[in-house]
């Protein structure tokens, strides 16, 4: 298939615009030193290929800036090349109007490892601590937590300090109200960290075997109050620029988990999407990522997902003892 011709034919015929688009594609190829057709074919096959395209577009933007191109022109050249991929049905992320805005106005609602530990330390209730720990160490939606039962959790690893493995089928994730919360109706599995498993063992047994006895709205309130008590909500800036920025909410822990897994060494995007319960562009993902491979991937990034449950006062006492 001639992707270049299909791209040009998707626009109204204009010789000057046609020449400009071909020049932009050639300039992209020379500056990034990547074949755009090969990138497109990979993006059409896997989600990892789409991320490579987005990284290449970012490199192209930086190259244009180094050449002395002004910000407006650089965005226009990047937009032209991005059209080559999107017009050929590559599912790229939405590129912001101002690429530099990511550096000027970083998302202040982004969470870090210390932030999550502070949120847990501010909650005295084991149930509230477990809600935050599960969201941070599994990357699941709060609806999945409401539909979980203790019997779904398999203990893996050492008996004294085990991991938890949950095998999810479409019929399993039905909450107490009878609603199926498996958003994409897919079969997947995910791992529960050892810190969260310690709290699971302390949870009482509820009628019906449910892990929690609260709703999604109550879980959202727990996360918001914990972030407020930890002083994280105060980082959210006010003003016209950040008018639509969200405060810390349960879904903010999903990108946190994904970022921590990437920084911990898990580079396979399909693996991460599978663990989060998202639909992949092919079938048989549960056979492609067996239990051992899922556990090994989690262990690779475990140091980035460890949570500290000790309150600040206890930490100070331990430090003073060591100094003495």
Instruction: Report domain extents, the chain.
Output: 3-104, 113-311
Nearest C-alpha neighbor of 94 from the set 103, 106, 82: 82
Distance between CA 80 and CA 77 in Å, rounded?
Answer: 5
Exposed / middle / buried, residue 52 (Cβ in 10 Å: 0-12, 13-18, 19+)? middle
Class of domain 113-311 (CATH, top level) = mainly alpha
Nearest C-alpha neighbor of 260 from the set 142, 130, 148, 114: 114
pTM across the whole model: 0.64
Q: What is the pLDDT of residue 312?
A: 54
Q: What is the pLDDT of residue 198?
A: 93
Query: Residue 32 has which token pair?
Result: 């990034």
pLDDT tens for the chain, 324 residues long, are: 688 998 888 888 888 888 889 999 999 999 999 899 999 988 888 767 788 888 888 889 888 888 888 877 888 888 899 889 888 888 776 544 444 444 433 444 578 899 999 999 999 999 999 999 999 999 999 999 999 999 999 999 888 899 999 999 878 899 998 888 988 888 999 999 999 999 999 999 999 999 999 999 899 999 989 988 888 876 554 443 344 344 678 888 998 999 999 999 998 888 999 999 988 877 778 888 999 999 999 999 999 999 988 765 544 444 445 444
Q: What is the pLDDT of residue 69?
A: 82
């Amino acid at each position: 298939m001639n992707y270049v011709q299909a791209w040009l034919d998707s626009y109204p015929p204009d010789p000057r615009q046609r020449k400009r688009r071909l020049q932009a594609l050639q300039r992209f190829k020379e500056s990034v030193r990547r074949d755009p057709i090969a990138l497109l074919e990979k993006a059409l096959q896997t989600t990892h290929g789409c991320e490579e395209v987005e990284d290449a577009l970012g490199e192209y933007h930086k190259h244009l800036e180094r050449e002395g191109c002004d910000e407006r022109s650089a965005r226009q050249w990047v937009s032209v090349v991005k059209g080559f991929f999107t017009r050929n049905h590559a599912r790229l992320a939405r590129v912001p109007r101002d690429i530099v805005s990511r550096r000027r106005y970083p998302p202040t609602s982004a969470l870090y490892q210390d932030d999550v530990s502070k949120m847990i330390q501010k909650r005295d209730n084991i149930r509230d601590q477990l809600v935050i720990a599960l969201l941070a160490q599994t990357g699941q939606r709060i609806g999945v937590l409401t539909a979980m039962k203790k019997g779904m959790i398999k203990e893996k690893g050492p008996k004294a300090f085990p991991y938890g493995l949950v095998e999810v089928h479409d019929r399993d994730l039905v909450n107490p109200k009878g609603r199926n919360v498996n958003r994409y109706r897919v079969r997947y599995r995910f791992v529960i960290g050892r810190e969260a498993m310690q709290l699971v063992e302390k949870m009482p047994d509820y009628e019906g075997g449910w892990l929690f006895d609260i709703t999604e709205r109550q879980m959202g309130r727990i996360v918001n109050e914990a972030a407020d008590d930890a002083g994280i909500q105060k980082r959210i800036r006010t003003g016209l620029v950040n008018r639509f920025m969200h405060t810390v909410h349960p879904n903010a822990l999903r990108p946190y988990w994904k970022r921590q897994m990437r920084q911990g060494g898990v580079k396979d995007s399909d693996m991460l999407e599978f663990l989060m319960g998202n639909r992949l562009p092919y079938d048989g993902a549960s056979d492609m990522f067996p239990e051992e491979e899922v556990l090994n991937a989690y262990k690779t990034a475990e140091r980035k997902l460890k949570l500290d449950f000790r309150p600040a006062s206890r930490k100070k006492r331990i430090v003073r003892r060591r100094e003495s």
